[in-house]
Amino acid sequence: MQAQLDLIDMKIGKEMAGLKRDVEHMIDAEAFSIASKVHNLKSQMDSIESSLNFLKQEGILTRQETLQLIGSAADDRATDGSGKALSLDDVRAAAKKIIEDELERHRADGIGRTDYALASGGGRVIDYSEGYFSLTPWSGLLGILPGDYRRHPKANKILEPSFGEPGQCLPLKGSNVFVDIRLRTAIYADSITLEHVSKRVAYDTGSAPRDFQVFGWLEASAAHKKGERVLLGSFRYDIESSSVQTFRLYKTASKLLVNTVRVHVVSNYGSSTHTCLYRVRVHGTEPHSEE
């Protein structure tokens, strides 16, 4: 009897040992599977982070836009009802949409804002400080002509689309210059965009505007009395930054109806002979029709 009990204990012990080994193998396999999934997930997250960091470093996305991109991808994944985790493909799809939106925005005159100074839309240059004519073959003749006949042949260049060509600007004499622009209609101006040729192709960045002021006023019309000239903002154009820079006007400007603006450049980047203005854009909102 004792021998039989010992034999049964031995069999139970072997069975238990085998079962233990099987359970350990199953645990090891599951742990390996989990570890692999975690590793793959970490690799995907590292790839996503690397891609997003690249977008941020290249200036394509700001930190806020990056967070919005991740949020957009997460929202899309949550609404598709598949229950799948966020993947790199989801972020790529969201990024593709952002890029397509950006391309569409840039097709709309580069910055996606209505330009009320655009010449083809009715904007026009009505006055400016003394022009710089020495860069033109007819400078001698223009220098002796009186009044409006001395209008610079490139005066309207600043109200037309620019293609980044050096010299395609309105050159004004000196480093303290101004230009007055009549807008296509009266607006509540909220920002202004100043453009200069890129420093990578410019022959001389010394003629680029540096510090400038923006004034606005309402010329007399049938519906409005003539307004006083009001300072809408003081800014600095950064020659080391993008060639197209938009500046937010003072908050008081949003309550002031204007149809004429003055861009007064008070200093440039070193040229004592002239200052070049490549393009000026004015943005804002039109008043309601009943006003």
Average pLDDT of span 83-98? 64
Q: Please provide the average confidence, as pLDDT, over all residues in the chain.
A: 78
Q: Which among 17-26, 63-72, 119-128, 156-165 has the top mean pLDDT? A: 119-128
- Whether residue 271 has pLDDT greater than 60: yes
Q: What is the pLDDT of residues 180-220, one digit of tens each?
A: 999 999 999 999 999 999 888 888 899 999 999 999 999 87
- Is residue 115 within 8 A of residue 281, CB to CB? The reply is yes
State how far the Cα of 157 lies from the Cα of 276, in Å rounded to an integer.
11
- Whether residue 233 has pLDDT greater than 90: yes
**Tell me, what's the pLDDT at 268?**
97
Q: Identify which has the larger pLDDT, 77 or 219.
A: 219
CATH numbers and ranges of domains, the chain: 2-107 (no CATH), 119-285 (2.60.120.260)
- CA dihedral 131→135→137→138, nearest 10 degrees, is 10
State how far the Cα of 183 lies from the Cα of 274, in Å rounded to an integer.
25
**Tell me, what's the pLDDT at 220?**
75
Beta bridge partners of 128: 179
Q: Identify which has the larger pLDDT, 144 or 167.
A: 167
Average pLDDT of span 155-164? 87
- Whether residue 177 has pLDDT greater than 50: yes
pTM over 0.75: no
The pair of structure tokens assigned to 262 is: 């003055």
Q: What is the pLDDT of residues 260-269, one digit of tens each?
A: 999 999 999 9
State how far the Cα of 153 lies from the Cα of 285, in Å rounded to an integer.
31
